[in-house]
């Protein structure tokens, strides 16, 4: 979608004459509005006041979009194509057939990009698949708890028996069970610590993965893991402004060719390319 909006600005700046600044601004405004509306629809927001405050929509345009429900970002591209078609009918393009063909491709591709975005976001995974994953995670947690409980119980019982050995008339160094040696005692301690780590890390890890999958299923939300809408919108706005300015203010050679000068006359004042292959300033 970002690419098609940038392409729209370039095509409008190239094919529309300089006195059509309002039409160029309108096309750029519609592209940015579609980008904002795509985020808002994925977030479930129906408020258009922010776009009106930003100057991306008029009150009339907002009222028309309110009737479009979830298709607001797609409706804008119908306006873009309609505007191109009307301008072509009025002869405002030097090459109307080319401009209208490119406009059709951009508008329809951008509308498809919006639709595909919502398809990825709104299409849920099959319930049986999600249910199976949830059951496996919970069964794993239950078995980890049972296994850790059994092992911890045995280790605790051996430690308790070892502590009761002197009370039963045995010297601790002569009592051979349950700890036959210090190495045996160390092994029991290691097993105890290992099971405690398993008990408190494995279930938390798998449940955390389920929670993470739920949070990243819609990257257009407000969480810290989601796409930064404001940053993307600002970058797109700056990029479209730069594209429009660069296209409307080309280098000297292109300006002279646009004025109708022959190519030989336009390049007569230019020096030869430098060794690096570029033209000097």
Q: 115-154: per-residue pLDDT in tens? A: 888 787 777 767 677 778 888 888 888 888 888 888 888 8
Which is more confident, 277 or 19? 19
Q: Which region among 40-44, 82-86, 253-257 has the lowest average model confidence (pLDDT)?
A: 253-257
pLDDT of amino acid 279: 43
- Residue 182's pLDDT band (boundaries 50, 70, 90)? low
Long-range contacts of 49-55 (CB under 8 A, 24+ apart): 55/29
* The pLDDT of residue 36: 92
Cα atoms in the 13 Å half-sphere on the side-chain side of 72:
27
The string of DSSP codes covering 89-117 is HTT-SSSHHHHHHHHHHHHHHHHHHHHHH
Helix, strand, coil share of the chain (percent; to 5): 75, 0, 25
Coil/strand/helix, residue 224: coil
Query: Predicted confidence band at 6 (pLDDT cuts at 50, 70, 90)?
Result: very high
| pLDDT at residue 174 in the model | 46
Q: Which residues contact 175 (CB under 8 A, 6 or more apart)?
A: 162, 165, 166
Asked whether residue 32 carries a pLDDT value surpassing 60, the answer given is yes
Helices (H), 17-171: 21-42, 49-53, 59-66, 72-89, 96-122, 127-164
162 pLDDT more than 80: no
pTM, two decimal places: 0.67
176 pLDDT exceeds 50?
no
Is the confidence at residue 235, as pLDDT, over 90? yes
Distance CA 218, CA 122 (A): 8
Question: What are residue 60's phi and psi, to 5 degrees?
Answer: -65, -45
């Amino acid at each position: 979608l970002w690419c098609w909006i940038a392409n729209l600005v370039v095509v409008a700046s190239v094919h529309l004459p300089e006195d059509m600044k309002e039409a160029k601004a309108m096309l750029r405004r519609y592209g940015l509005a579609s980008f904002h509306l795509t985020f808002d629809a994925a977030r479930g927001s129906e408020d258009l006041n922010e776009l009106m405050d930003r100057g991306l929509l008029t009150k009339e345009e907002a009222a028309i979009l309110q009737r479009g429900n979830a298709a607001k970002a797609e409706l804008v591209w119908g306006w873009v194509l309609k505007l191109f078609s009307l301008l072509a009918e009025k002869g405002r393009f030097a090459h109307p057939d080319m401009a209208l063909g490119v406009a059709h491709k951009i508008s329809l591709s951008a509308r498809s990009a919006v639709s595909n975005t919502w398809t990825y976001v709104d299409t849920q995974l099959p319930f049986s698949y999600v249910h199976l994953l949830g059951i496996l995670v919970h069964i794993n947690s239950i078995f980890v708890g049972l296994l850790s409980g059994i092992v911890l119980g045995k280790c605790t019982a051996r430690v308790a028996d070892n502590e009761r050995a002197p009370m039963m008339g045995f010297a601790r160094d002569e009592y051979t069970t349950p700890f036959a040696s210090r190495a045996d005692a160390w092994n029991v301690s290691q097993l105890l610590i290992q099971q405690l780590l398993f008990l408190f890390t494995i279930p938390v890890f798998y449940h955390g993965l389920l929670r993470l999958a739920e949070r990243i299923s819609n990257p257009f939300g407000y969480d810290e893991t989601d796409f930064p809408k404001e940053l993307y919108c600002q970058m797109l706005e700056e990029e479209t402004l730069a594209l429009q300015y660069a296209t409307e203010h080309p280098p000297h050679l292109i300006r002279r060719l646009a004025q109708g000068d022959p190519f030989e006359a336009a390049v007569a004042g230019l020096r030869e390319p430098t060794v690096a292959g570029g033209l000097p300033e």
